[in-house]
Amino acid sequence: MKILFVTDLHGAEWKYDRLCDIARADRPDAVINSGDMLPKGDNLFRQNAFITDVLDRHFARFDAMGMPYFCYLGNDDLRIWDNLFDETCRKYPCIHNIAQRKASFEGVSFIGMNWVVDYPFRLKDRCRMDSPDYTFQPQLGTGLLSTPDGWTEVHDWPGYARKLPTIADELAALDRPECMDQSVYVFHMPPSDLGLDVCVNGQSVGSRAIHDFLAANQPRLSLHGHIHESPEMSGAWQAALGDTRCVQPGQQDDEFAYVTVDLAGMTIDRQVDFDLISIGW
Ligand SMILES: [Zn+2]
């Protein structure tokens, strides 16, 4: 099975168009889009327009090609749009929202999770402690959670987060695949300790709980995103964790990074295309 994988497109329409062109030319068996799908601009409360307009048309194209497409929203996509996103996916038989869900296709299980380990930034819609002994990073302000009426401010974010399930809890609650060797885990958050989680300041912020889950369960493949600059910082966009191959292609604003995987032979390639318009061609 050939998989085409992208992550962190953040509403860049030229990247969605490029993804569609590549899929049409290369005919992968499945496409995976690992979150942060919507524009990050100044008004996140208008992200719904992108779902009903651009994303709906994008999904319709893949559905017309009969190409399975597994996806979910990410930490910069407000949780108030989860229902709209799910309804939009459900319009098309080929489109599958795999946030905290398993979907199976041709004997392969695709299992998604879009919670992330807490960070200093204020938007906390999908943030969790990694495990019960997690130490919070210094915060850039009070926490913010989206509601249909605007932001709710959380003054004691660590106190609030301590009452939520941890990433380790969320991983334990996921559906199990029929066979780990025929499973693909899709986590927006990268694992720790593999060089797939290095921020621009050099700090490694990956999830220890995800690392330990993958080490213990040994799926065939795990796909990640979230830390856009990590491949440039660490020099690594893939790593082996026992028999599991872990991939984090990164994503820069003026480039389109994507990965192709042939699950049978485990051939994994990363491509980075430039936006010819933005570099003046
Ligand atoms: Zn992102």
Which two structure tokens, joined as six digits, stand for 126?
Answer: 């999908």
pTM attached to this predicted model: 0.96
Q: Please give the distance, rounded to the nearest whole angstrom, from the Cα atom of residue 121 to the centre of ligand 1.
A: 13
Does the 2-274 domain belong in CATH 3.60.21.10?
yes
CB 185 within 8 A of CB 211: no
Q: How far apart are CA 47 and CA 45, in angstroms?
A: 6
pLDDT of the chain, 281 residues: tens digit per residue: 999 999 999 999 999 999 999 999 999 999 999 999 999 987 999 999 999 999 999 999 999 999 999 999 999 999 999 999 999 999 999 999 999 999 999 999 999 999 999 999 999 999 999 999 999 999 999 999 999 999 999 999 999 999 999 999 999 999 999 999 999 999 999 999 999 999 999 999 999 999 999 999 999 999 999 999 999 999 999 999 999 999 999 999 999 999 999 999 999 999 999 876 655 55
Beta-carbon contacts of 64 under 8 Å, excluding residues fewer than 6 positions away, are none
Q: Please give the distance, rounded to the nearest whole angstrom, from the Cα atom of residue 153 to the centre of ligand 1.
A: 22
As beta bridge partners, residue 123 has 144
Q: Please give the distance, rounded to the nearest whole angstrom, from the Cα atom of residue 132 to the centre of ligand 1.
A: 25
Which two structure tokens, joined as six digits, stand for 180?
Answer: 């780990």
Q: Please give the distance, rounded to the nearest whole angstrom, from the Cα atom of residue 75 to the centre of ligand 1.
A: 7
Q: Please give the distance, rounded to the nearest whole angstrom, from the Cα atom of residue 13 to the centre of ligand 1.
A: 15
Query: Per this entry, what is the length of the chain?
Result: 281
Q: How far apart are CA 82 and CA 87, in angstroms?
A: 9
Q: Please give the distance, rounded to the nearest whole angstrom, from the Cα atom of residue 229 to the centre of ligand 1.
A: 10
Closest CA to 118 of 173, 75, 154: 75
Q: Please give the distance, rounded to the nearest whole angstrom, from the Cα atom of residue 178 to the centre of ligand 1.
A: 30
Q: Please give the distance, rounded to the nearest whole angstrom, from the Cα atom of residue 36 to the centre of ligand 1.
A: 5
Q: Please give the distance, rounded to the nearest whole angstrom, from the Cα atom of residue 133 to the centre of ligand 1.
A: 26
